[in-house]
Structure 1
Amino acid sequence: MQLRDWTFEKLFRSTYVYNILWEDTEVDEALLEVGPGASLLGISGAGCGIANHLSRHAARVDAVDINPHHLALTGLKAAAARHLASWDEFYALFGHGSHPEAERVLRSLAEHLPKWMQAYWRVRWRMFEDSRSMVRSGLTAQMLGLLRRITGMDAEWLRQRIGEDLVQRQAEIEWICRELCSRRWVAAYLESPLQLITLGINYAQRDRLLAAEGTDLIAFFETHMKRLVETDLERNWYAWYAAAGHFNHELPEAVPPYLRRDHHARSSQAPTDMRYHNRNIFDVLGRAEADTWSHYTLCDAVDWMPEAAQQQLFAEIFRTSRDGAKLLYRSVEDRSLIEHHGLEGRFVLDRQASDWASQADRSRQYRRVNVYTVAH
């Protein structure tokens, strides 16, 4: 690992970056078809996907992340999905990001979590106070809030875009990007290492992204925004999160699935054995026996890795997987890493499902969403 990537990882481990998962969990739910008896190993990120597996009644979920802030938030989301009887309270916490009795509710939920998470939330429950809001917490949310103040983006701005055609929407994005880049410090920030941490992109993934896009980070920012406005803006919770700073609470389907009333009702009955690992995924895989997991969700972590680490990861997944297990990951590149490493005989790409997912993912941050079936 190069020094720049080692330094980035050290910073990323210790920084509370995001409170929302930037992988579309509605797409994941359709691809993975998790059900009773499933055993899943997943990189947690902010936990929207991990919490959602409770509604599918998986037998076991191992959530792993090198970032303790993200893993603690994952644990809290899962505990609330299972143990908060009131959907209104649950939605207040994670849909709106606050609760009038935040300290009481979080202390109660933390009792269902590992000791270190209990200690974490004893100190940090205040991010759910009405005056703060969890939805506005973390480096990414703070950066987006600053961009909204500069450009005037808000919920009303986004509602105006809903009624426009694509040409009008993209023209508005071009104006916003010109407005931002007219400020030298904003342009410098968008090209800086701080922006990489804010996006959750390390140097290796940045290099892959820029090679695939044939551009620089500032131009990619504009391209990404234009891709977002190609989507159904009424229901795209990423667009609302970025442009308005909150979800579109008027539409039940305009929020991540784990927040929806029907998913919460199923999650409260979940028999799932939840396990949390604040460590590298290789440590968790290395301690596991063969035939352990039926599903693997890697977010975009494979993009962060050098080729030798990618090969090791796929080898460990193959060793620990059940026959017919599903592997899901995202990439900023078009190429298949499985094919690149000559592993098509072990991991069989579902081309039709992967092509659909790559187009359907609302975040528009990745070029590919690939799902494979393990063949022993």
Structure 2
Amino acid sequence: MAHVIDRAVINTHGISKESLLERAFAFAFRGLVYAQIWEDPVVDMEALAITPQSHVVTIASGGCNMLSYLTADPARITAVDLNTAHIALGRLKQAAAQRLPDYAAFHRFFADASSAENIAAYRAYIGPHLDETSLRYWEGRDLVGRRRIDMFRRGAYKRGLLGGFIGAAHLLAKAYRIDPRALLEARDMAEQRRIFDQQFAPLFDKKFVRWLTDQPASLFGLGIPPAQYGVLAGEEKMVGVLRARLERLACGHDLKTNYFAWQAFGRRYGRDEGAPLPPYLEAAHYETVRSRAYRVEMAHANMTDWLAAQPAASADRYVLLDAQDWMSDAQLNALWSEITRTARPGARVLFRTAAEPSLLPGRLDPTLLGRWHYHEADSLRFTEQDRSAIYGGVHLYSLTD
């Protein structure tokens, strides 16, 4: 599958700085990237308006949202991903929801994700029900020789490309005598603002930080491909863009409701009773997720290729995450041609972009784009509501005929 990932993200050829960066980016994305997905599922479910008849087609990523969507009662969910690790993680989460004995074990495995009991639970309840490919992945060794399943006793959310990026950011902050976990002690949003302004904002004025963020490779861990780096920065320096995104994450939502901030500043979920969690991990949704987990199917494939093999008018909710940021115009048109062919009347497509505007105008064939209505006001609202705060735009389109 490595060559398929390369084809998906490498848009330049020959030997150049740009092509080398794209190849490095593609290489980085072959392993585990996201132990937790970084798109807000609550926003997704409102935007998608899922019904009991809906067939949701989504990019799997860390697998959290495909299970969270079950709380909206769709008929079917297909989670597609090119990344072997993400498919294995999604199948692990699905099997855990179906097979672990109770909510306490499920919560310990994925909300705590750092207990030796998780390995015993994996052996007894999950491993025997995994497919051969996923079992081989979890029983295999990582680059330093540890079994991959052991990440769930060592702190799963510190693993993966993004987990490594967040860890490196913590080390950098501590080099300047800033402890990111201090934000989590804030009692209210006013104190969140004060801590950010006093401790975090000055970090972005440091000469080394400004130099570091000028290097496109430094942001691979955020999932920002080289081709998108310049678009994201625009006329600004990248350090200013990153400061604004971190400010929104730190100050835009109450920490008592924002599990993304806990992951960014604490590298884990909160452990107090009532700490914010993704919907699929909330106690109130456990039985719902467990009873509906069979509705999820996973496909190790390119989204466009998978859609091309499906019947016409066979799906009606599509979630593309930020994958289009990686695509050439030809790839965008191929994807949307298949979305349009497979879409039922009233279908909805949701995606995110690193930059603020929708990337479709001027790139998608006008005839094709003309079949879709852009919900501009709703998209702006969803962008503000998205608690992860790392994207410039959340965009919703619906089929017009």
Length-normalised TM-score, structure 2: 0.83
Match of 1:98, SS state, is coil
**Range that drifts further, 24-33 or 311-320:** 24-33
8 Å CA contact 1:56, 1:266 repeated in 2: no
Alignment partner, residue 159 of structure 1: 185
1:192 to 180, 191, 215: 215
C-alpha distance in structure 1 between counterparts of 2:358 and 2:159, whole Å? 35
Tell me how far 1:193 sits from its aligned partner.
4.5
Structure 1 position 338, deviation (Å) = 4.1
**SS of residue matched to 1:14:** coil
Where do 5+ consecutive residues of structure 1 fail to align?
Answer: none
- Cα distance change of structure 1 residues 160 and 334 upon mapping to structure 2, 3 Å threshold: closer
Which is worse superposed, 80-89 or 244-253? 244-253
Structure 2: give runs of 5+ residues left out of the alignment.
1-10, 14-18, 141-147
Q: How does 1:90-169 map to 2 (within 5 A)?
A: 90-107=106-123, 108-123=125-140, 124-129=148-153, 132-149=154-171, 150=174, 151-160=177-186, 162=188, 163-164=190-191, 166=193, 169=196
Provide the C-alpha distance between the structure 1 equivalents of 2:184 and 2:237, rounded to a whole number of angstroms: 26
Measured after TM superposition, the shift of residue 215 of structure 1 is 2.0
Matched to 1:190, the amino acid is T
Equivalent residue, structure 2, for 1:349? 374
Q: Which residue of 2 aligns with 1:175?
A: 202
> Structure 2 CA distance, aligned partners of 1:13 and 1:167?
36
- Listed one character per residue, the Cα deviations across residues 199-248 of structure 1 (whole Å, up to 9, x for unaligned) are 1111122222112xx32333322222122222223322222111112222
Instruction: Give 1:155's aligned amino acid.
Output: R
Give the secondary structure class of the aligned counterpart of 1:221: helix
- Match of 2:12, as an amino acid? Q
User: Is 1:221 equivalent to 2:242 in the alignment?
Assistant: yes
- Shift in Å at residue 254 of structure 1? 1.6
State the partner residue of 2:392: 367
CA contact (8 A) 1:98 1:133 kept: yes
Measure the CA separation in 2 of the matches of 1:165 and 1:77: 33
Equivalences for residues 318-337 of structure 1 within 5 A: 318-337=340-359
User: Contact 1:65/1:277 (CA < 8 Å) preserved in 2?
Assistant: yes
The alpha-carbon distance between structure 1 residues 45 and 189, as it changes in their structure 2 partners (threshold 3 A), is: farther
* Secondary structure of the corresponding residue to residue 277 of structure 2: coil
CA 154–43 in structure 1, closer or farther in 2 if over 3 Å, else same: same
57-66 or 200-209, which deviates more: 57-66
Give the superposition deviation at 1:47: 1.3
Alignment of 1:1-376 (within 5 A): 1-3=11-13, 4=19, 6-8=22-24, 10-107=26-123, 108-123=125-140, 124-129=148-153, 132-149=154-171, 150=174, 151-160=177-186, 162=188, 163-164=190-191, 166=193, 169-178=196-205, 181=206, 184=208, 189-211=212-234, 214-231=235-252, 232-250=254-272, 252=274, 254-270=276-292, 272-340=294-362, 341=364, 342=366, 343-376=368-401
Paired residue type of 1:369 = V
User: CA 1:57 to 1:168, structure 2 compared with 1: closer, same or farther past 3 Å?
Assistant: closer
Deviation sequence 1:117-145 (CA, Å, 0-9, x none)? 1211223211112xx11122123223322
The offset of 1:351, in angstroms, is 3.3
- Bigger drift between 335-344 and 92-101 goes to 335-344
SS of residue paired to 1:269: helix
State the number of aligned residues.
368
Letter in 2 for 1:359: E
**Pair 1:152–1:97, CA change in 2 (3 A):** farther
Identity over aligned residues, as a percent? 28
CA distance in 2, matches of 1:15, 1:196: 16
* CA offsets 1:279-336 (integer angstroms, 9 cap, x no match): 2212211211111212110001111111221122111100011111111001133333
Aligned to 2:345, the other structure's residue is in SS state strand
